[in-house]
Amino acid sequence: MSAKKNNVPQNLQEWQALAASLKIEGRAFINGSYVDALSGETRATFNPANGEELAQIASCGPNDADLVVKVARETFESGVWSKMPPMQRKKIMVRFAELIEENLVEIALLESLDAGKPIGDTMAVDVPGAATTIRWSGEAIDKIYDEVAPTGPGELGLVTRMPLGVVAAIVPWNFPLSTTAWKLGPALATGNSVILKPASNTPLTAIKLAGLAKEAGLPDGVLNVLPGPGSSLGKALGLHMDIDCLTFTGSTEVGKTLTEYSGQSNLKRTFLELGGKSPNIVFADADLDKAAEAAALAIFYNQGETCTAGSRLLVEKSIADEFIQKVAKAAECFKPGHPQNPNTRMGALIDRSQFDTVEFYVAKGLEQGAQLVCGGKPVDEVAGGYYYEPTVFRGVTGDMTIAREEIFGPVLSVIEFDTEEEALAIANDSIYGLAAGIWTNNLGRAHRMARDIYAGSVWVNNYFGGDITVPFGGFKQSGNGRDKSLHALDKYCELKSTWIDLS
């Protein structure tokens, strides 16, 4: 059934009833149609809330990749989309966004079921954000002009943007819908054909979106969705000689491998948004109540499975005792609960592997001498699910494993400092550079810290701030390139210079 936004369930039981009635599509989407993998193979996707099977999903491999690249290339070269006037592409993109909004309830439920995310978040953040990204990208494309170079009267110099061609987008399991929109919006708006590979354990919203794009008027072959394992399908896409661009959000380890694939194949343009170990820095002159609430949100939102999570909380020593207690109090609001309960603020970890990872790092923190303030244990919310308490460590030093490695779970490491210079040194002592937060009422300090922290996003007196108008991406081993904003459009274009002799 198609669940529309004007009939929103009000409690856990109503959401579960709707989930039971959903007909979940699990096939690949190629050349405008839902199809089985060429091998006929499928694999199950499971609900993190209870471990139950949600659907059988097509398990595509290298042969499917070859087929879909051929389709995408032929579609691109036909010009049916790549040469469509920008104003017409805009209309289709805007209609695509409208259809996402019209199917708000169903898409939000699929995202919650598949990723263990609280239904309140998928309803209020993930689905509306995806629609905004698609609409904004479409609206932007007929407002970006090419350039005329400042030549003399005897020449004419033109600088024009051209779509790259075939783009492969590989998206992660923690924000499958949001990151899909971040890739699709600019890649489609600029005229490319796209092959989307969702994460193996969260393919449902990507598959759903493909049908909505067709309904909106996107020509067949422009958007194709291939679910399948990264070890075979992802590798095939990374090494393919006829893919022009690969855009990826995920772990730094996989990002490095995809970069190697680019070098081993055709030097396809490769954009990476990778891991983080973001510092959230609180000075004594900050609004401590506001900062404590934000510090809890920064690490416990989305179960801590967030690349920009404020997993290193740097606190000025003079306020450390008071502030840590405020954060521990704020953490109580994130008691894990069933993802389809509208009152839940922290849902289930994605799977057993991630649950075991969190357990490992908590044990490592205790082993290395960190002091447990709160949490540190699993929660039996629903049998078969993966729930973990919001966990706070203090007494953490920069050489501890929990201060250096990305955990991707609800585990906060508190590090104390004395001076602004020390805070800056601790903040930059990381292989990552994705995001950072600064809390202070000193305007000069705020500017100094924001300038000197090596991170792609710096938030002052807030955390997770920003919208589609500003770029997102990282420094150092947090990746390259940018999602969001007009800068994202440049990722999916080639610049051509044309010099005309008028004499």
Check the CA dihedral 60-66-71-72 and report its sign. Answer: positive
- In angstroms, rounded to a whole number, what is the distance separating the alpha carbons of residues 263 and 460? 39
Q: Are 237 and 262 in contact (CB under 8 A)?
A: no
Dig out the tokens for 245 from the structure.
């661009």
Check the CA dihedral 150-155-159-160 and report its sign. Answer: positive
Annotate 38-95 with three-state secondary structure.
Answer: CCCCEEEEECCCCCCEEEEEECCCHHHHHHHHHHHHHHHHHCCCCCCCHHHHHHHHHH
DSSP 114-165: HH---HHHIIIIIHHHHHHHHHHHHHHHTT---EE----TTEEEEEEEEE-S
Q: Are 436 and 280 in contact (CB under 8 A)?
A: yes
* DSSP code for 345: S
Contact residues for 358 (Cβ-Cβ < 8 A; gap 6+): 304, 349, 388, 407, 408, 409, 410, 411
* DSSP code for 318: G
Q: What is the enclosing helix (H) or strand (E) of 209?
A: helix 204-216
Expressed in percent and rounded to 5, the helix, strand and coil fractions of the chain are 40, 20, 35
Q: Are 433 and 457 in contact (CB under 8 A)?
A: no
Catalytic-residue membership of 405? no
Catalytic-residue membership of 273? yes
Dig out the tokens for 487 from the structure.
């800068």
- In angstroms, rounded to a whole number, what is the distance separating the alpha carbons of residues 345 and 335? 7
Distances, alpha carbon 232 to alpha carbons 59, 67, 91, 271, in Å: 10, 15, 36, 20
Given the residues 106, 111, 273, 420, the one annotated as active site: 273
Instruction: Please give the positions annotated as active site.
Output: 273, 307
